């Protein structure tokens, strides 16, 4: 059975690229553009991994990570933060919020897939 990955990304091109690359590697994907729908989407889709943009309109991906980790249903799902928000200390702050992995944009395909596979148990 294919691993399920939810991609929370407001940029249409990035979301499509991530979902297409993951799909080509055998993963089942759900793309969500609106961060306000992310937690409900995760409860319904039951992903094995969440890929989370940090800069989302209306809600911060940082806040969503914190909320997901405080939610009994979602706390065990690893989160890979993928963001252009890459200032000094940001990775540590995002990991402290509960992200299991961190990549800064622009993202190359190989490091992206390596980060995804590192967070998914076989």
Total of domains in the chain: 1
Per-residue pLDDT of 10-63, as tens digits, reads 999 999 999 999 999 999 999 999 999 999 999 999 999 999 999 998 899 999
Q: What is the pTM of this model?
A: 0.95
Which CATH number characterizes residue 42's domain?
A: 3.40.50.2300
Residue 40 resides in a domain? yes
Residue 3 resides in a domain? no
Residue 91 resides in a domain? yes
The whole-angstrom separation of Cα 22 and Cα 4 is 10
Residue 10 resides in a domain? no
The whole-angstrom separation of Cα 35 and Cα 53 is 9
Residue 97: domain span: 35-119
Higher pLDDT, 46 or 105: 46
């Amino acid at each position: 059975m294919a691993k399920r990955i939810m991609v929370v990304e407001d940029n249409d091109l990035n979301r499509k690229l991530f979902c297409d690359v993951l799909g080509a590697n055998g993963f089942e994907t759900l793309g969500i553009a609106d961060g306000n729908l992310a937690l409900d989407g995760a409860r319904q889709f039951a992903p094995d991994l969440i890929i989370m943009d940090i800069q989302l309109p209306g809600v911060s991906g940082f806040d969503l990570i914190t909320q997901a980790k405080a939610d009994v249903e979602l706390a065990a799902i690893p989160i890979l933060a993928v963001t252009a928000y890459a200032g000094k200390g940001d990775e540590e702050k995002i990991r402290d919020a509960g992200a299991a992995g961190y990549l800064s944009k622009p993202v190359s395909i190989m490091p992206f897939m390596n980060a995804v596979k590192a967070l998914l148990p076989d």
